[in-house]
Amino acid sequence: MYRITKEFHFSASHQLSALPDDHPCARLHGHNYIAEVELAADELDENGFVIDYRELSPLKIWIDEMLDHRHLNDVFGHDMVTSEFMAKAIYDFCLARWPQTSAVRISETPKTWAEYRP
């Protein structure tokens, strides 16, 4: 199995309003996110790629236009836009375009990652 990954960076705010009032994440706050997309294939294409990284440009455009410097609760229409939630949302966006999509990881801080991998 061949696997490739590509990172995308964006900054955004969110609020996990279903948490208790004394939880710091219940307050409006923001992160400098890293989204890491993984694609996999048993065989390489005619150019020797799982996929040409340039083909992932629509994801970069979507992140820049829809997520970067936005309030994620408004973007997704959801009260609990956790890293886990976003990993699945970005995975679904990618899978609809690239069937080689195998996982998405999201980082809110240098020490934390959430992953969606079916």
**Selection from 92, 104, 86, 111 nearest residue 12 by Cα:** 86
What average pLDDT does range 72-81 have in this prediction? 95
Output the pLDDT for position 76. 96
> Cβ–Cβ contacts within 10 Å for residue 103, how many?
18
CA 117 to chain centre: 12
Cα 106 to Cα 82: distance, rounded to the nearest angstrom: 10
- Complete domains list, the chain, with CATH: 2-116 (3.30.479.10)
Query: What would you measure as the largest C-alpha separation in the chain, in angstroms?
Result: 55
Cα 75 to Cα 65: distance, rounded to the nearest angstrom: 11
Q: pLDDT digits over 47-56, tens only? A: 999 999 999 9
Question: Between the CA atoms of 91, 15, 114 and 53, what dihedral angle is there, to the nearest 10 degrees?
Answer: 40
Long-range contacts of 43-47 (CB under 8 A, 24+ apart): 43/2, 44/2
> Cβ–Cβ contacts within 10 Å for residue 15, how many?
18
The model's confidence at residue 62, banded by pLDDT at 50, 70 and 90, is very high
- In DSSP terms, 33 is beta-bridged to 10
pTM score above 0.85: yes
